[in-house]
Amino acid sequence: MDEVNFAVLGCGGIGRRTLEVSTDKEHLTPVAACDRNGAAVDHDGLDVDELLAATEGNIASDGGTAAASGSGTDSSGVKQTGENAGVAASVQADPTEEPIEEVIEASDDIDAVLIALPNFEHDFIPRVADRFAEAGYEGVLVDVLKRSRVIDMLDDRTDEFEAEGITFVCGAGATPGFLTGAAAIAAQSFVEVHEVEIWWGVGLKSGYEDNRGTVREDIAHLPEYDIDDAREMSDAEIEAVIDEYDGVIEFEDMEHADDVLLERAGICDAEDVTVGGILDVTSDEKPTTTTVRVTGTTFDGETGTNSFELDDATSMAANVNGPALGYLKAGVRRNRAGEYGVFGPADLMPGF
Ligand SMILES: NC(=O)c1ccc[n+]([C@@H]2O[C@H](COP(=O)([O-])OP(=O)(O)OC[C@H]3O[C@@H](n4cnc5c(N)ncnc54)[C@H](O)[C@@H]3O)[C@@H](O)[C@H]2O)c1
């Protein structure tokens, strides 16, 4: 496969690990990265080690997404646990009030953009995509968003993406993403799929500081909270919720887009898909094995359940970022073949 260069929007728990994983992948060169306060662009390739060192401990775990329309920095709520200010602390970067705009300005020479931004406003990522389309970007956009309702917003933009030459791969993390793709494969034994059950386990003791953004978003899936609560809550309030559950939170019936993504791929009805799991911030051991179970009927009348399990040794970071980059490569293949529009993880086989 030809060389692929890419940008990462957001350098929090996910974006930083995406950059790190990419250094172990062939043919992938990160050329731009930004967070709320800074942007680094180098078309010859970023020095990932320097960028990771500069951003270590500077994880924005607040709920703000204030800069979607371009205003850039509302640093008032940004948590800075380290000495410096995220990407802006890198010698490769400049502080900016327009971080996403800076990447858009450089995007003529960027094959793919991985969007690792928070999702506390459901239209935030679709609006970021609009900005790329309005600027005439012709390339790949990949997100790792979780919420089902965002997929429709992206589908509504299909004509715009096709007109511009954008290949958008949506929901391309772990769940949705990797596990959605696994369900699509597991379904192949059946002529009718009755049920898809996705059950994840995440142990996050040592990775907790780096993944506060994801934990905050997960809290919005608890029955007593919603996305607005999760966005507005202080760090202390988030900690109080975690303490209330003694650090181990079980989630049921989560609004994860695996459901609509499997339906749009023709595999089953969205209502037949359930997603739940257990998050343990007190241990690095997974509290439960991540499993996809697909139950259906074969052409010759047997009912069976095909299962797909992740090894407990594989971390959330490995299972989000490996697939995100794999789907990014698959998106670039489509884009180079002239296929534009919106694709889900059940439509593509990720590259490696
Ligand atoms: N699909 C999956 O399996 C999966 C798993 C984990 C996380 N996620 C998703 O990944 C996303 C990122 O999670 P995270 O833990 O890295 O969050 P985080 O809060 O740690 O990081 C978010 C980053 O985005 C930056 N940012 C925020 N607003 C910005 C703006 N306007 N302009 C530029 N940069 C901006 C922040 O500075 C920060 O660097 C979330 O939407 C989460 O739901 C998906």
Is 105 within the bounds of a domain?
yes
Confidence at residue 61, expressed as pLDDT on a 0 to 100 scale? 47
Q: Which amino acid residue places its CA nearest to atom 20 of ligand 1? A: 12
Measured CA to CA, the distance from residue 161 to residue 152 in angstroms comes to: 14
217 lines ligand 1 (CB under 6 A): yes
Q: The dihedral of CA 314, 316, 318, 319: what is its sign?
A: positive
pLDDT band at 58 (very low <50, low <70, confident <90, very high): low
Is 85 within the bounds of a domain?
yes
Helix (H) or strand (E) holding 40: strand 38-41
Measured CA to CA, the distance from residue 171 to residue 324 in angstroms comes to: 9
Q: What does the pLDDT average to over 209-227?
A: 89
Same domain, 128 and 153: yes
Give tens-digit pLDDT for 152-197: 999 999 999 999 999 999 999 999 999 999 999 999 999 999 999 9
Helix (H) or strand (E) holding 199: strand 192-203
Measured CA to CA, the distance from residue 165 to residue 336 in angstroms comes to: 10
Is 129 within the bounds of a domain?
yes
Is 349 within the bounds of a domain?
no
14 lines ligand 1 (CB under 6 A): yes
Measured CA to CA, the distance from residue 10 to residue 114 in angstroms comes to: 9
Q: What does the pLDDT average to over 62-85?
A: 40
End-to-end alpha carbon distance in the chain:
10
CB 81 within 8 A of CB 210: no
Is 209 within the bounds of a domain?
yes
Measured CA to CA, the distance from residue 312 to residue 292 in angstroms comes to: 14
Given 102, 217, 263, 286, the catalytic residue: 217
pLDDT at residue 289 is higher than 90: yes
| CA angle at 191 for the pair 186 and 194, rounded to the nearest 5° | 70
Given 102, 221, 256, 286, the catalytic residue: 221
Same domain, 159 and 196: no
pLDDT at residue 245 is higher than 70: yes
Alpha helices in 202-282 (DSSP H): 212-219, 227-232, 235-244, 258-264
Same domain, 303 and 328: no
pLDDT at residue 65 is higher than 90: no
Same domain, 130 and 271: no
CATH at 23: 3.40.50.720
- Sequence-distant (≥ 6) Cβ neighbours of residue 53 within 8 angstroms: none
Same domain, 26 and 158: yes
Same domain, 64 and 212: no
Using only the alpha carbons of the chain, give its radius of gyration.
19
Helix count and strand count (H, E) for the chain:
12, 13
Is 351 within the bounds of a domain?
no
User: 128, 131, 138, 70: which is closest to 108 by C-alpha?
Assistant: 138
User: 9, 34, 36, 218: which is closest to 125 by C-alpha?
Assistant: 9
ipTM, 2 dp: 0.98
175 lines ligand 1 (CB under 6 A): yes
Q: How many CB atoms lie within 10 A of CB 236?
A: 7
Same domain, 133 and 164: yes
Q: Is 56 an annotated catalytic residue?
A: no
Please tell me the total count of domains within the chain. Answer: 2
321 lines ligand 1 (CB under 6 A): no
Please tell me the distance between residue 116's alpha carbon and the centre of ligand 1 in angstroms.
5
Measured CA to CA, the distance from residue 249 to residue 243 in angstroms comes to: 10
Is 214 annotated as ligand-binding?
yes
Please tell me the distance between residue 297's alpha carbon and the centre of ligand 1 in angstroms.
39
Give tens-digit pLDDT for 98-123: 999 999 999 999 999 999 999 889 89
Same domain, 245 and 329: no
Task: Write out the residue range of the structural domain in which residue 251 sits.
Answer: 178-313
Same domain, 191 and 322: no
CB 102 within 8 A of CB 115: no
Burial class (CB in 10 A: 0-12, 13-18, 19+), 304: exposed
* Beta-bridge mates of residue 342: 168
